[in-house]
Amino acid sequence: MKTFKSSVLIIVGNVLYGIIGSAVVAVILSFFIIPWLSIVIGAIVGLVIVYFAVVGDNVKLAVDDETLTVYKGSRAKYSFDRNSVTMSAQIKNVDGDSDCKLTVTEATGEETHIDCSMLGLNRFYLLLDALGVFKPEPVAVKTRLIVKAKD
């Protein structure tokens, strides 16, 4: 079984974004409301961003020969039988920031979108490799030879 966890660098980066975002919100609000209230609101905004960076968006994926299990926090959120689903990936890379999504489609047509951005681009590629995206099984193709006789 291979396990893919969120990147510590991405988590730390998002925590820093939360701190900077809370400071910006507090400064902007200080022009419109009482300074201590703007600090409180800024701190709340920062705590919400930090919560999502550390807990809410934190993802772990476990892959073995039979299943793909997706964990949010410490509990399993999804479990898929790899033989009965199809998977596709989408990667957007803008200025070094990668947005990675894995889509799992079940036989019924139901799609599950999994945000894998917290893994980072390199770990997402390793996940796709473990899922067999880069080495799919060969598919037999029926062919026939048609020979035309000259007149």
pLDDT at 137: 67
Cβ count near 43 (within 10 Å): 15
Pairing of strands 97-106, 111-115: antiparallel
pLDDT at 91: 84
For the chain, the farthest-separated pair of C-alpha atoms sits apart, in whole angstroms, at: 97
pLDDT at 151: 63
Integer Cα distance of 11 and 8 in angstroms = 5
- The candidate with the shortest Cα–Cα distance to 126, out of 102, 103, 149, is 102
Integer Cα distance of 122 and 128 in angstroms = 10
Amino acid at position 147, single letter: V
pLDDT tens across the length of the chain (151 residues):
888 888 888 888 888 988 898 898 889 888 888 888 988 998 998 888 888 878 777 888 888 888 888 888 778 888 888 888 888 888 887 776 778 888 888 888 888 898 888 888 888 888 888 887 776 667 778 888 777 777 6
Domain ranges within the chain, ordered by starting residue: 2-130
Classified by CATH at the fold level, domain 2-130 comes out as PH-domain like (2.30.29)
Q: Tokens for 58?
A: 């934190």
The number of C-alpha atoms within 13 Å of 31 and in the hemisphere containing its C-beta is 4
